[in-house]
């Protein structure tokens, strides 16, 4: 199937319906990939925020992407990593796991199959409320 055909009525080459559909497919596919990457970045920011709320010293997460019994991608937290001088307690890790379980599952849909780490971008700290002064 050609990408162009001669249109006698107009006297010029015209794009075939198939070629138009192929071009549109490529445009939509590119938009899909951009949206997927943006969603993954937003989910990683949310995961970072939830993790740092429990463990402010966290630098990244070790995760596993696997398929559940229905073949759906799922994410599983393996470890919360910190700088060398900080240590994460089991209680903190369990709390982080509970906080981000749904976000990890959604992230697993957008992640590459071989993704094993979520590196934090070091989001700026949230502003602290101003101290109230009582007269």
Predicted model pTM: 0.75
CA distance 72 to 82: 30
CA distance 93 to 91: 5
Residue 3 neighbours by CB under 8 Å, 6+ apart: 15, 16, 18, 19, 22
**What is the pLDDT, as a whole number, of residue 84?**
74
**What is the pLDDT, as a whole number, of residue 113?**
75
**What is the pLDDT, as a whole number, of residue 46?**
95
**What is the pLDDT, as a whole number, of residue 114?**
80
Low-confidence ranges of the chain (pLDDT < 70): 1-12, 123-135
Torsional class of 87: left (φ above 0), alpha (ψ -120 to 50), beta (otherwise): beta
- Break the chain into its structural domains and give their ranges: 12-119
């Amino acid at each position: 199937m050609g990408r162009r055909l001669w249109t006698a009525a107009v006297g010029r080459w015209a794009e075939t319906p198939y070629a138009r559909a192929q071009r549109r497919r490529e445009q939509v596919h590119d938009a899909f990939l951009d949206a997927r990457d943006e969603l993954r970045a937003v989910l990683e920011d949310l995961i970072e925020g939830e993790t740092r709320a429990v463990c402010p010293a966290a630098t990244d997460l070790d995760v596993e992407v696997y398929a559940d019994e229905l073949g759906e991608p799922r994410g599983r937290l393996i470890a919360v990593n910190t700088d060398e001088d900080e240590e994460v307690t089991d209680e903190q890790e369990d709390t982080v796991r509970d906080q981000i379980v749904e976000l990890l599952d959604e992230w697993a849909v957008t992640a590459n199959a071989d993704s094993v780490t979520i590196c934090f971008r070091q989001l700026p700290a949230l502003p602290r409320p101003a101290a109230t002064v009582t007269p």
